[in-house]
Every structure is written in C-alpha cells, then in structure tokens.
Structure 1
Amino acid sequence: MRLGLVALAALFIAIVFSSTLWMRGVRVDLTSDHLYSLSPGTQQILDGLHRPVRLTLYFSRHATRDLPQLRSYEQRVRELLQEMVMRSHGRVHLSVVDPVPYSDDEDRALGAGLTAMPGGSNGERVFFGLAGRTASGVELSIPFFDPNQEAFLEYNITRLVYELDVPNKPRIGILSTLPIDGSAISGTQPWAVMRQLHQLFDVHMLDANDPSQINDKLSVLMIVHPKDLSDDELYAIDQYVMHGGHLAVFVDPDAEMDALPVGSLAGTAAGSSSNLPRLFRAWGVVYDPDRVVLDRARALTISLGDNSAPVRDFAVLGLGSRDLNHRDVITASLQNIDVSSSGYFELARNTDSRLFPLVQSSGEAMPVSADRVRDTADPTELYQDYRPTGEHYVIAARLRGQFQSAFPQRKGPGHLDRMAKPGQVILVADTDLLSDRLWVRRTPFLGEQLLSAFASNGDFVANILDNLGGSSALLSIRGRAISQRPFTRVQGLRRAADVKFHNREKALENELAATEQELAKLQPDKNAAQPDQKVKVQLEKALKRKLSIRRQLRDVQHQLDAEIDALGMRVKAVNILLMPLLVMLFGLLYGLLRQRRSGKRNAT
C-alpha cells in the first residue's frame, strides 16, 4: 500500500515536471470572453513597436489591504501587462512598485502624473496607475485605474504604448462652412471646442476649393456642416475613406449657428441644413436633412431673452448617461451631451454596413419637419399634436463596414471602387453641439474669459478625434468583458427559488391561518366542560397540520441553499479533479507528439 502511494506520488511529480517542461510558453485561455487573450489590434501594435518601452505599475499594496476589490482588479491589470510583455518579444519591460508613504517611489509616482486617491488603510493614499517612458525621454501615464472602466482596460493600456512609440500629435484636417475657428476679418474668436482641439492635436483648417488637401497625411478628416461641395471635393472625401482614412462628419437639419457672417461674405440663410447624400447612399446610411428630433423627456428649459418666463424647448435636448453608449470608448466616461434641433441616422435596407449608436434620444421622441422648428418663435407651439413614436433615434453613431465608392465611374491613379478592408466613419446629426452656448459658460476674470463646461460636448468631440486619430489597430480594440462576472447560474436559481418560495409560502401561510382559526374554535374554554372525544381528535389533527405546514415552510426556505450547495459541489469537482486531469492529459499528449516529431526529424 505504501509503495503504491509512493509510486503514485512519483508519477504525479513526473507528469507535472514533464508538462511544465514540454508546455513552456504554451498558454490556453478557457474563459468564455477570452479575458486573458490579447485582441488582434493589441498584438499588431506590440509586433510593430519601433523602440523599447518601459512600463511601471504603481500599486499601494499595503494601503489597500482592506480593499479586496481593488486588489483583485490590480491582479487583473498586472496579468494583462504581463501578457503584453510576453507578446512584445522583449520590447516592453514591466516593473511593479509599491509607493509607500514618504518614499522616493511615491515622489516618482507623483512626478509621473499619477493620482493619489484617499481611502486607504490608516488614512494612507492609494496609488494605482501606470507610467510609461521611452529611452528618448517620452513620458505618458494612466493616472488611476478605475475598476468601473475595466471594459476599456486593454484599449487604454494599448493606447499608452502606442503613443509612447509614436509621440507626435495626430494631424487633424477640418473642413467647415461654419466659423468654428473664428475669423480675423470679422474679429470673431474661435469656438471653445476649437481651442481644446488645438491643444490636443495638430489642427489644419482646409480649403473647400482645394481637394488636394484631403490626403493620407491627415490622421483624421473632420467635416462640419457640408453644403454645396463640388464633385471634386466629394470625390476626394470618398477616396480618402476608400483608402482607409478616418472620417468624422457633423451634419444638421437646422444649423442655428449658420446665421453668423463669415468674413465679408455674410451669411447664408439662418438655420440651413447640410447633408452628404451621395456618400451616405454609398455607405448604406439614411439621413433626412428635413427632419428634426423632438424629445419631451429630454427637453431643456431655455430663456427667450425678452423678460418672459423660461420654457421647455422640445428641440433642445439634454442627453444624459442613459442616452449614451457606455460600451464604446468615445462615450464611456461622458455624463451629458446637449444638442439642438438635431437629426437622426438609420441604416438603409439591404446594406452590409452596421450602425452602432453613440448618442440617441429617449423613447418619448418624435421627428418633425425642420421648417416647423425653424419657423417657430415660441417653443411651446411644439407641444401641439405631440405623439411620441416610442423609438430611440440615433443622433450620433459609429458606422462600420467595407464601403463602396460613390464614384464608381471615375477611373484614375489610385482609384478604389471598394475598401480593401472594413473601415468606419463617425456620424453626428448636429452641428450646434459644437457651439459654446450648449456646453460652456463664460465668466469675465481680470480681463480674460474663463470657460467652465456644464456639458460634455467638448470631450465628446475630442474623444472622437482621439479615437480615430490613433492606429487603425487601436480602432479594432473594442470594450472587453469584465473579470468580475456574476454567478448567473446561482442568480437564476435564486430567482426561480424566490418565485417558487413566495408562491408556496403564500399558499402555506393561508393554510396556516385557516388552521389556526380552526384551532381557536376547537380550543376548550377554561370554564367549559372537557371536550368530547370527537373534538379532541379534530384538535389533534389541526395541531399536526399546523406543525406540518410550518415544516413545509422551512423546507421551502432550505431548498434554495441545498440547490446552490449542490451546484457548488459540482463546480468544485470540476475545478479540483476534472480540470487538472484534463490539463495533465493534454500536456502528456502534447509532449508525446512533440517528442515523436523531433524523433522523425532526427531520423531524417
């Protein structure tokens, strides 16, 4: 018996040692959402790194000893970083540092731009961020890893690595018929959104009369309120997209800011519309430049400026977190976006393109004619004949597909009739959201204008360009599932048991109440004579039924725990016995196959 146990232990050690030796570097991700596998976009960026990148993960291990959720998330972050290090073939180096209070590590973490959050053990500050640098001195950081943003963990880290490798600001080309960048002739200042974009990107304002400016030197092309573009300009935009260029389009059925003069050429008609019908048709998009979305559930209160009381305007909408797509990196961290007289997008029939909403209305919305909104002086007139359709209208979206050219008849150098691989375009059906009045408040201070944002419009535009301006591989990295997954099977058992328990409990409690009433009637009065034998038998039966009902109630309550315990035993059996056996069996088979192949090579 002892010899058998010794032999079994020796066999187990030999199998483990052989599996470790033969399966060195072999990794298998068996999670349903492939949490521990890098996306193809991340792999492409790591394989194409031009220079070594050094990453330092700062995590206050001692200060988070009473924060198990944060410690669990740190393990998730560290494992992802280690996976990236393994994939990088030595170009990414990782170190993990615990910046204890008043240490040089803490000073380095603060100097790298990390944020120290309160709430640690004994009042200590908590560091949980990533600092990256290259040999040439480029430094970037992720100030703090928020567990609520786990779905975008891989995207954020990969973007940091990409920007360390390619540190130049993305070149943004903006083609606009609105005076968003101000005018030296009229003396108008750039809109606040443009001030923000100039700080973040290398911005170039394009001339609509020079299509050659739209070329592959642009990281992103942003078109605002396109009207009366020539065929040459449209063709330049078309081929820019066909060759994989990144495009963001802002159109509007009622552009209220179009009333402003542009230089000496004053103005177009107030509230004019814009569209790209030829390109939209080729991409499979339906957009009506004569329809405006009203939404009584998201209407904002505005002032008419004539000493009258403020009123709710169904065309001016404050779209909150419920209306933003928190599964897309562009809108994941935004809180609210304000729009005015916006349009909406739909997909055409029989198109292969896919439309992913970024911003949409509530179910209390309805579309109306743009002329009705444009010609209405009193917003309360929009209340008349208001009938919500129950649909959520897509105001901004990410369009994906392998688009076809809108100019198949043109044949010239470099012309493409169809994209070589799938691409994407960002569509926004409102230009007024770019204007200051919908998202910033100006306050005079010492001769300057201080800007304070009350909506996320500026961040929304910056996120669009930031997302499109990165590598095409970055665009392919979408939000991933989170590692903290609920026990859906257990939750299902609880819901089923709750329904079963409440129904059964109610029936048993009704029966118990009736039994107790019967017992009260059968109980003899103290001053009355002893009950006869028949009453005694009925009394005993009622008491037994009462005890039986109470026992059944206890059984129903315990049944849920029993089912969950049984499920737990099955899970433990699989994790403790079955999975290790399968791994060892796979290791042995892999080792034997590898040994046989090497034997054949040696024989030849």
Structure 2
Amino acid sequence: MRHMHLSRSFRLRLALFGIAVLFLVVVATSSMSLRTARVDLTADRIYTLTPGTQEIVDSLRKPLNLTLYFSEHATRDLPQLRSYEQRVHEMLREIAVRAHGRIRLRVIDPVPYSDDEDAAESYGLSPASGGSNGERVFFGLVGADGSGDVPPQAIPFFDPAREAFVEYDIAKLLYELGMPTKPRLGVISSLPVEGNLVIGEPAWAVVRQLDQLADVTTLDPSDLTHIDDALKVVLLVHPKHLSDDALYAIDQYVLRGGHLVVFVDPDAEMDNAPLIDSHGIVDDHDSDLRRLFEAWGVVYDPTKVVLDRSQALTIELNGNSVAHPAMLGLGPQDLNHDDVMTASLQRVNFSTAGFFELAPDTKARMVPLVQTSDEAAVVPAQRARDAASDPASLLENYEPTHERYVLAARLRDTFRTAFPERQEKGHLANAAAPGEVVLVADTDLLSDRLWIDVQPLLGQQQLTPFANNGDFVANIVDNLGGSTALLSIRGRVNSQRPFTKVRALQAAADRKFLVKKRELENELYETQRRLAELQPVKNAATPTTPTAEQRREVEQYLQRKLAIGKELRDVQHQLNAEIDALGLRLKFINIVLVPGIVALIGLIYGWRRTRRSRRVV
C-alpha cells in the first residue's frame, strides 16, 4: 500500500511538472505566433480599422517611420489626455501590425531641454501648456518616408476635441506620405479670383492658399468641352451663362467619379460685371446651375437671400456700427461637427447667401455642413441689394420661419446625366458608383474681406484671419482631393463612455430649474412694475418714504423669493438623491451582486463535484 501511495504522489508531481512545461510552451508559442492577433470587444469597435484605412495601409509601397511624441512625465496629472494617448497608441499599433513591417512605430517622451524636444519642435509639433510643474505637453505624430523622397508630415497635436476624426487624420498623413506629388485642382470661375497682374491686383487669399495644397489649373468656361480626369477636384465658382458644352463637360466629369465643388450665389457682391451691359441685358450678379441641379434633385432659387438676425455680423457703415442680417457669422452651433470638413472650424462668414433643399422625388442624400439658426428668414435678393446702404431696413417686418436653411452641404447619389439626348463617344447616362458633390450657396465667403484682415508690416502685407473661411475651403479640397479610401473614413464615436442615465437626470433637473428661474424672473419683473406704480413722485422739497402698501408688496416679494429658492434647492436635492441612488445601485451590482452570483455558481459547481466524487468512491 505504501508503494502504491508513493507511486501516486510521484505521478501527481510529474503531472504538475508536465502542466507547467506545457503552460510555458503554450505561452511562448502564442507570443510568437499570435503576436498580431487582436480581438476588439468594445461596443463601437473603436480599435478596429475601417476598410478605407486598411486600403491605404495595404497600398503603401515604401517603408514609413512613424514617431509618436508624448510627454509621459508632464501628463501624469492629466488622466483624460493619457487615456486618449492610449487610444491613439493602440490605433497606431494596429496600423503598424496591418502594414506587416512597412511601418516602424516609435514612441518618444520629449522631456524638457532635450534633443527630442528640439526635434519635436523642428517637425512643427505644437506643445500645449498646463503640464505638471508648468511643463509643456507634446502629443503629436511625425511621419517620414524611409527613402527620404517625401518631406516629413506631422499632426501637430492630437486635440481630444477631434477624437472622432483621429483615424481620418492618421490615414490622411499616411496617404500624403505615400503620395509623391500634389493633387491637381481645377478652377472654373467668372469672378476675379486669380487677381489681375496688369493692374497689380493679387489673387484672392483663398486661391493663394490652395496653391500650397494642390497643383492649381484655371479652366476657361467659354471654351470648356471636356474636363481631364486627372483633376482630383474642380471648383466651379459663380457659374454664369455657361454653354451646353461646358455644362455637359461638368456633367460627365461628375458621372466619371470626379469631385466637384459648386459655389453659387443669389447676389455675388464681388461680381464686377456691369449691371446693364452695352446690349441692354440686365445682370443681377446671381448664378445658378439649374439644369444640373434639376438632374441631381437639388432645389435652389437664385432670387432668394437668407437673413438671420441672431447671427448677423456687425459692420461699420458711415461711422456707425450696424447689424447686417444678410451678412452672417455662423459659429460652432451652425457647423456640422460630425463631418471632417467642418469639425475643427469655429466661425465661417457668409454674405447674401442662398440655400439648398432636396426635391421631393429625389433619392439623393444631403448632408448639411453649414446651416442658419431657426431665427432665419428668406427675402427676395433684390431687397437685399436695395438695402446695401441701409441694412437695418431688412429687419423691418422681419418674420422668422423657424427653419434652419442649408447654406453648404454634401450631396450624395448615384448621379444621372442631365443630357440624356447626347450620344457622343464615351457618353455616360449614369454614374457607375455613388458619387459626391459639395454645394455652397455663397461666393462672397471666398473673398478676403469676409475672413482676412490685411495690414502692412515692414513693406509687406500681414494677413490675419478672423474667420475660418479659408480653412473651410482648404478642408473641402483636402478631403475630396484624397483617395476614395480616405473619403470613406467617417467620424468615429468618442472612446469616453458617458453616464447617459446621469446625464438624463441632469437634463430633467435643468429643465425644472429653467422653469423655476423663469417663474422667479417674471415675478420679479411684475413686482418691480407694481412698486414703480406705487412709488410717489420724488422732488427735492418732499422726500419720499415707503407706504404701508409698498412694505406689504416688498414683504410678499421677499417671502415668495425665499419660497422659490427653497423649491430650487429641493429640485437640486432631488437630483442629487436620484444620482446617489443610481450610484448605489451600480455599486451594489458591481461589488456585491455580480461577485455573489459568481461565488454562488462556484459553490454549486464544487458541491456537485464533491457529490459526484463520493458516489464514485
């Protein structure tokens, strides 16, 4: 019996040793063979690359070096930024894994006064203030072509406000590193956007800015019969009196998958054409693309201008400051922050703009980029022109429609031709795939006066932007000028998981507070009005003293004010109680209920095994 006992003990030790060896072998094997394996268990799959990013990474032909500069020490007291850095780092690791060795990723902590800090600044990274001990915080990405043929590209700072577009920004950097030349851009315009060298008039600032982003080619609309497919983007600015051949060229360019940006205007203030030419033809300085708009299902009226008294810009006129309801300063609440074209913008200025709608029978989709507030109104364009010297007259009989009008938008559809009767060689009746056109109902936003302040400095012009009009146009070209894979990358959800139930409780309480606040303000106004009626006329000879009725009114007001204050406190206490109760429920579930269920399952399982073992014996 003793011999059998030792044998069993020896076999048990041998089995344990074998399990330990097997465990080490499995760990070593998995670390080698499953190094690139990942499982994204997040609800919104925020760590899974979109097909567009995968396509860009797969198309890389040359090795790239990516360097993430993150101030590890300076952010030890900034948990939100550190959490965001973890997401960015994980996404970069996922991209590096996808590249199969074509992307080398490094992470550097640029400590103060180091060579790494100097290198980060030399690449154009923008440090933020507010780090530990007053240190600057670097959080940017630098990408370099391994062969050195393409200049380094950088994301100056990963702003948490742009977290939804972090994948787009990284994919765009990779695309630009893999693209050796600038995209080609075509401009068709009846406005003097190129300036006039003869009289020393420079090109508009937005055009000079586009020259830095793309290879710009000017197309003459008078003899336009074809648009080269090599043009990645075409800007059509203020189309007037276009021939059928020119319209057909634009139509076919869109159907072939070209990216078109249309700027139309019911009143182009920069249009220098005579209002009445030598033949007696009247020019209202408006523009339209009626035939193509009708084929695309777009409704646009070149005789209507949008006013918005809540977003009116203040201008100087005859030495006075005047609110101009046809000149609009549209802020963050009016811009689509779910779209990469407008996500990072703060203000875009429009002037005498029109608006777009969709025809009832169209299948196209319109994604608004810029909208008015619900205080907007629509007036004839001629009235806006007549009010140029007296903008305040536009506020007379002002009746808001309580609608938000679309001033700029993406139009998405599988487009059909506006010229079905044409039978030229290569004619397309329908697009082969869904396409996109960007529509803007204003041309004045391109002019310098609406977004650039020009000041002379040391014999040169100092350009100081006061609005994001130039950034808006650059974002449009930047987005459309990339690959179709880049266009397919949309905004992602934020990795921060908000307490939606708590926010709902907060919102409900805020509504209660708002009602009480209005009640208090209305009662205060009524009491003050009543006191004013009871107040006797003052004069120097007879000083006034409060009457008994006034004292009663004041006492009643004070008592009511205290009562409303108590009700406000009760609402706040109720809110806190609901949030605290919710917190206790969550703590009970996470700390007591779930572990208790797991422990109970374990006990039941152990009890059943014990019973089974006893039966076997």
Instruction: Look up the match of 2:611.
Output: none
Out of 309, 312, 315, the residue aligned to residue 302 of structure 1 is: 315
Report the residue type matching 2:311 in the other structure: R
**Once structures 1 and 2 are overlaid, which stretch shifts more, 130-139 or 100-109?**
100-109
Shift of 1:575: 13
Match of 2:427 in 1: 415
RMSD: 3.5
1:564 partnered with 2:582: no
Q: Is the 8 A contact 1:490 1:564 kept in 2?
A: no
Farther-moved stretch of structure 1 (478-487 vs 107-116): 107-116
Residue equivalent to 1:355: 366
- In structure 2, the residue matched to 1:594 is none
Structure 1 residue 147 corresponds to structure 2 residue 169: no
1:491 CA drift (Å): 4.6
Q: Is the 8 A contact 1:258 1:267 kept in 2?
A: no
Q: Secondary structure at the match of 2:420?
A: coil
Q: Secondary structure at the match of 1:35?
A: coil
Whether 2:99 is the aligned partner of 1:81: answer no
Q: Which runs of 5+ in 1 are unaligned?
A: 501-551, 578-604
Quick one: structure 1 residues 197 and 494, their matched pair in 2 at CA, closer, same or farther if it must change by over 3 Å?
A: closer
Residue 380 of structure 1 aligns with which residue? 392
Decide which of 170, 176, 187 is 2:183's aligned counterpart.
Answer: 170
> Structure 2 CA distance, aligned partners of 1:143 and 1:363?
36
State the SS of the aligned residue for 1:57. strand
Q: TM-score w.r.t. structure 2 length?
A: 0.77
User: Helix, strand or coil for the counterpart of 2:138?
Assistant: strand
The higher-RCO structure (CA 8 Å, 6+ apart) is 1
Of 469, 475, 500, 1:488 maps to 500
What is residue 466 of structure 1 aligned with on the other side?
478
Aligned partners of 2:36 and 2:97 also within 8 Å: no
Q: Is the 8 A contact 1:299 1:313 kept in 2?
A: yes
Q: Secondary structure at the match of 1:117?
A: coil
Once residues 290 and 108 of structure 1 are traced to their aligned partners in structure 2, the CA distance between those partners, rounded to angstroms, is: 56
Q: Contact 1:259 / 1:271 at 8 angstroms: preserved in 2?
A: no
> What is the TM-score of this pair, normalised by structure 1?
0.79
Pair 180,260 (structure 1): closer, same or farther in 2 beyond 3 Å: farther
Shift of residue 26, structure 1, vs aligned partner: 4.1
Give the CA deviation at 1:449: 2.5
Cα offset, 1:487, TM superposition: 2.6
| CA distance, structure 1, for counterparts of residue 407 and residue 44 of structure 2 | 30
Rounded to whole Å, the distance in 2 between the matches of 1:561 and 1:303 is 55
Distance 1:109 1:287 in 2: 49
Aligned-partner SS, 1:303: strand
Do the aligned partners of residues 190 and 496 (structure 1) sit closer, same or farther apart at CA in structure 2, a change above 3 Å counting? Answer: closer
Please identify, of 123-132 and 374-383, the stretch whose mean Cα deviation from structure 2 is larger. Answer: 374-383
Identity %: 57
Partner of 1:322: 333
* Distance change >3 Å, CA 574–CA 203, structure 1 → 2: farther
Question: How many Å apart are 1:556 and its aligned residue?
Answer: 7.9
User: Cα distance 1:570–1:203, how it changes in 2: closer, same or farther (>3 A)?
Assistant: farther
Amino acid in structure 2 at the alignment position of 1:439: W
Q: 1:313 aligns with which of 324, 336, 349?
A: 324
- 1:422 Cα deviation after fit: 1.3
> What corresponds to 1:510 in structure 2?
none
Q: 1:391 to 1:557 in 2, by over 3 A?
A: closer
State the SS of the aligned residue for 2:346. Answer: coil
Aligned-partner Cα distance in 2 for 1:314–1:499: 31
**In 1, Cα distance between the equivalents of 2:29 and 2:356?**
55
Question: What per-residue deviation string (whole Å, max 9, x for no partner) do you get for residues 524-543 of structure 1?
Answer: xxxxxxxxxxxxxxxxxxxx
Alpha-carbon distance in 1 for matches of 2:292, 2:378? 23
Counterpart Cα distance in 2 of 1:286 and 1:183: 35
User: What is the distance in 1 between the residues matched to 2:221 and 2:55?
Assistant: 36
| Deviation of 1:558 (Å) | 6.3
Q: Look up the match of 1:451.
A: 463
Structure 1 distance, partners of 2:281, 2:596, is 71
The 8 Å contact of residues 414 and 430 in structure 2, kept in 1 or not, is answered as: yes
Q: Structure 2 regions of 5+ residues with no counterpart?
A: 1-8, 513-573, 600-617
Distance in 2 (CA, whole Å) between partners of 1:499 and 1:229 is: 54
Q: Which residue does the alignment assign to 1:115?
A: 126
Structure 1 match to 2:443: 431
1:491–1:188 distance in 2 versus 1, CA, 3 Å: closer
Task: Please state whether the residue corresponding to 1:233 is helix, strand or coil.
Answer: helix
Among 46, 64, 81, the residue aligned to 1:53 = 64
1:48 CA displacement: 1.1
1:385 is paired with a residue whose SS is coil
CA distance 1:402–1:445, shift in 2 (3 Å): same
Q: Structure 1 residues 89 and 437, CA, compared in 2 at 3 Å: closer, same or farther?
A: same
**Count of aligned residue pairs for this structure pair:** 521
C-alpha distance 320-449 of structure 1, shift in aligned 2 (>3 A): same
Quote the residue 2:612 is aligned against: none
8 Å CA contact 1:256, 1:270 repeated in 2: no
Whether the 8 Å CA contact 1:355–1:397 is kept in 2: the answer is yes
SS state at 2:221 partner: coil
Work out whether residues 169 and 201 of structure 1, in 8 Å CA contact, stay in contact via their aligned partners in 2.
Answer: yes
**Counterpart in 1 of 2:531?**
none
CA deviation map 1:394-445 (0-9, x unaligned):
0011111211121222233332222222121111000011112211122223
Equivalent position amino acid for 2:84 in 1: Y
| 1:21-36 → structure 2 map (5 Å cutoff) | 25-36=36-47
Shift of 1:304: 2.9
* Distance in 2 (alpha carbons) for counterparts of 1:463 and 1:290: 29
Structure 1 CA distance for aligned equivalents of residues 578 and 222 of structure 2: 78
Give the C-alpha shift of residue 97 in structure 1.
Answer: 1.4
Which digits, 9 at most, give the CA deviation of each residue in 1:27-82, with x for residues without a partner?
33232222011111111111111211110111111221121111111110000001
Alignment of 1:43 onto 2:65 = no
Q: Distance in 1 between matches of 2:461 and 2:330?
A: 27
Matches of 1:387 and 1:462, distance apart in 2: 35
Residues 224, 13 of structure 1: CA spacing in aligned structure 2 closer, same or farther, 3 A cutoff?
same
In structure 2, the residue matched to 1:285 is: 298
Once the two structures are TM-superposed, the CA of residue 295 in structure 1 deviates from its matched residue by 0.7
1:563 to partner: Cα distance: 1.7
Query: Does structure 1 residue 254 correspond to structure 2 residue 270?
Result: no
Within the candidate set 485, 489, 512, 1:477 is matched to 489
Q: Which range is displaced more, 367-376 or 420-429?
A: 367-376
Q: Secondary structure at the match of 1:76?
A: helix
Residue 188 of structure 1 deviates from its aligned partner by 2.7
**Counterparts of 2:73 and 2:376, CA distance in 1:** 52
- CA displacement 1:243-280 (0-9 Å, x = unmatched): 11111110001111113579x99999665111111111
Work out the CA distance in 2 between the residues paired with 1:331 and 1:374.
Answer: 29
Shift of residue 576 of structure 1?
A: 9.1
Any idea what SS the aligned residue of 1:155 has?
A: helix
Q: 1:403 aligns with which of 393, 406, 415?
A: 415
Cross-structure match for 2:211: 198
Instruction: Report matched runs for 1:205-216 at 5 Å.
Output: 205-212=218-225, 214-216=227-229
Match of 1:507 in 2: none
Aligned equivalent of 2:234: 221
In structure 2, what residue type is equivalent to 1:124?
E
For the pair 1:136 / 2:147, whether they are aligned, the reply is yes
2:329–2:347: 8 Å Cα contact kept in structure 1?
Answer: yes
1:257–1:271 contact (8 Å) kept in structure 2? no
1:63 counterpart (74, 80, 95) = 74
CA contact (8 A) 2:505 2:579 kept: no
**Code of the aligned partner of 1:403:** F
